[in-house]
Amino acid sequence: MSFFPTDKTFLQIGPFSIQWYAVLILTGAYLAYRLSQNNARKAHYPSDILADYFVFVLWCGIIGARLWYCVFFDFNYYFSQPLRILKVYEGGLAIHGGLVAGVLFTLWYCRRKNLSFFKMADMIMPNVLLAQAIGRWGNFVNQEAHGGVVDASFYDGILSFLKDRMCINGVYYEPTFFYESVGCVIGFCLIVFLLKRHQNKRGDLFWAYMMWYGMLRFFIEMKRTDALMIGNLKMAQLTSIAGVVIGVCGYIGLFERFLPRRKPTVLFDFDGTLVDTKRAIRHSYKNVLTDHGRADLFTEEFQNEIIGPSLWEIFQKYFPGEDSDELVKEYRKYNDEFLKTEADLMPSARELLEALKKDGYNVGVVSVRAHRSIELINDLLQIGDLTGDSIGCDEVKKMKPDPEGIITIVNRNNWNRDEVIYVGDSNSDIEAGKNYGAYTVGYFDLDSRRQKLLDAKADAYAEDLSEVIDIVKSYPQQV
């Protein structure tokens, strides 16, 4: 009794039938989708962004695969009887056509959704290898995509489980479909579990797919007997060579100078980064501590510690068991008053913001300060038209170092999700940026905070905000 189906039809309902070939292709596509969706979730993409993409790219792939087959199998036959092009159930899908159509659709989709094509391709293309590996078993059921004639003894041993189905009209054929399926699985493992750990730039996984599948298919085509031809040459081999060449050139960076570079979104922490509110913060804490009979806590160590963390974090640490929300309210009443006289811009902040605005960068603020307080300071210092949109601690459920604030402001404005720079002056700022996948810039205006911020290992550092504009302009697109 064979483990594999002996009929091409998976399900027959009256005159309608579902073929195993279709079931296996869709199964592979769905697996690739779920794996890609998991990658998108880790990259903090909106949960539905790949759902729409999957449906359309699948149809584009099928259409492209069919047209490619019809053009290179028998152009005159199919285009003199165009209705036969629609009869996919008669067989005839060419993976290279599906890949070309899928890549073209992805380029369009990424432009429309303001996404990085190479980041999307890195998330998706290695998983396509698994889809191809599963889809090749549809060729097995259909008894196609095989090699030349072999002796029955070829299937003695490890390949014996393929023997029955590879006997076609009493003749045994070499299982090239199986070689390709195994090769695709190996390629997936190498790219995802090895190369991904050492990825240097965005697009590396996509280029690796091009190289691996190109080489694999080139050698498989040497043995296949049903290849599409262009003159006396096998079309799949020509396409594979082109894929390998393109993949190698892309991987070593030859295309980078020709690829358009998109301006990153530049996000800032607020207190200690754009505005100097240290005096107002310290006076506010001192008054709250005094009101509660804890003025002894207001040491130099305490004063250094309170710059950066959220109010709740500080109050929960120093007033355990007390109502932090009430303490925050008390603090904010004092802080609103002190800000009127004690708040000021950090050195070079205005010049930096004006330069970013002039050059057309999207700018925003993600802060542990309440939104209304951010607006109050913006009005006092007259920088509201320079700082763009802002996210305060009262607009998120999780505060830094969680990246929720960054995710929220980027999605709310439909800004460039994949090129984000986050500038901050505390470890939690750098951690939040890293957790999002942003390029992080650590800014320290005090030597006393230098080592702590250096320990956070930001991607770049600035001792003066005037240095940030150069960092932004030389920003490398990240993995």
Burial class (CB in 10 A: 0-12, 13-18, 19+), 82: exposed
Give the three-class secondary structure for 450.
Answer: helix
Question: Do 121 and 30 fall into the same domain?
Answer: yes
DSSP 263: P
Q: What is the pLDDT of residue 304?
A: 83
Long-range contacts of 197-204 (CB under 8 A, 24+ apart): 199/122, 199/479, 200/479, 201/253, 201/476, 201/477, 201/479, 202/116, 202/118, 202/119, 202/122, 202/418, 202/477, 202/478, 202/479, 203/118, 203/121, 203/122, 203/250, 204/122, 204/251, 204/479
Edge-to-edge strands, sheet with 265-268:
389-391, 363-366, 265-268, 420-424, 439-443, 460-462
Residue 39 and residue 64: Cα distance in Å, rounded? 26
Question: Do 333 and 271 fall into the same domain?
Answer: no
| H/E run at residue 150 | strand 149-150
- Tell me if 26 is assigned to some domain: yes
Q: What is the pLDDT of residue 2?
A: 54
Edge-to-edge strands, sheet with 167-168:
149-150, 171-173, 167-168
- Tell me if 4 is assigned to some domain: no
Question: Do 348 and 235 fall into the same domain?
Answer: no
Q: Residue 126 phi/psi, 5° resolution?
A: -60, -35
- Tell me if 161 is assigned to some domain: yes
Q: Which of 291, 315, 342 is the last residue of a domain?
A: 342
Write the CATH number for 396: 3.40.50.1000
Q: Which of 315, 342, 369 is the last residue of a domain?
A: 342
Residue 201 and residue 323: Cα distance in Å, rounded? 47
- Tell me if 240 is assigned to some domain: yes
Residue 432 and residue 404: Cα distance in Å, rounded? 8
Question: Do 332 and 208 fall into the same domain?
Answer: no
- Tell me if 3 is assigned to some domain: no
Question: Do 156 and 183 fall into the same domain?
Answer: yes
Q: What is the pLDDT of residue 92?
A: 78
Contact 263, 361 (CB under 8 A): yes
Write the CATH number for 325: 1.10.150
Number of domains making up the chain: 3
Question: Do 24 and 141 fall into the same domain?
Answer: yes
Q: What is the pLDDT of residue 89?
A: 64
Q: What is the pLDDT of residue 73?
A: 81
Question: Do 117 and 218 fall into the same domain?
Answer: yes
Q: What is the pLDDT of residue 471?
A: 95
Burial class (CB in 10 A: 0-12, 13-18, 19+), 466: middle
Report pTM: 0.81
Q: What is the pLDDT of residue 1?
A: 42
Residue 326 and residue 309: Cα distance in Å, rounded? 18
Q: Which of 326, 342, 358 is the last residue of a domain?
A: 342
Question: Do 308 and 417 fall into the same domain?
Answer: no
155: closest CA among 170, 173, 169? 173
421: closest CA among 340, 430, 413? 430
Question: Do 268 and 317 fall into the same domain?
Answer: no
Question: Do 114 and 201 fall into the same domain?
Answer: yes
Contact 86, 92 (CB under 8 A): no
Question: Do 172 and 47 fall into the same domain?
Answer: yes
- Tell me if 364 is assigned to some domain: yes
User: Each residue's pLDDT tens digit in the chain (479 positions)?
Assistant: 456 677 888 888 888 888 888 899 999 999 999 999 999 988 888 878 888 899 999 999 999 998 988 888 877 888 888 888 877 766 678 899 999 999 999 999 998 888 889 999 999 999 999 999 999 999 899 888 899 999 999 999 999 999 999 999 999 999 999 999 999 999 999 999 999 998 888 899 999 999 999 999 999 999 998 877 777 788 899 999 999 999 999 999 998 888 877 889 999 999 999 999 999 999 999 999 999 999 999 998 898 888 778 899 999 999 998 999 999 999 999 999 999 999 999 999 999 999 999 999 999 999 999 999 999 999 999 999 999 999 999 999 999 999 999 999 999 998 988 899 999 999 999 999 999 989 999 998 766 667 778 888 999 999 999 999 999 998 876 55
Residue 2 CA: distances (Å) to CA of 21, 141, 165, 178, 244: 18, 12, 9, 17, 38
Question: Do 142 and 194 fall into the same domain?
Answer: yes
Residue 282 and residue 305: Cα distance in Å, rounded? 10
DSSP 355: H
Q: Which domain holds residue 65?
A: 9-258
- Tell me if 145 is assigned to some domain: yes
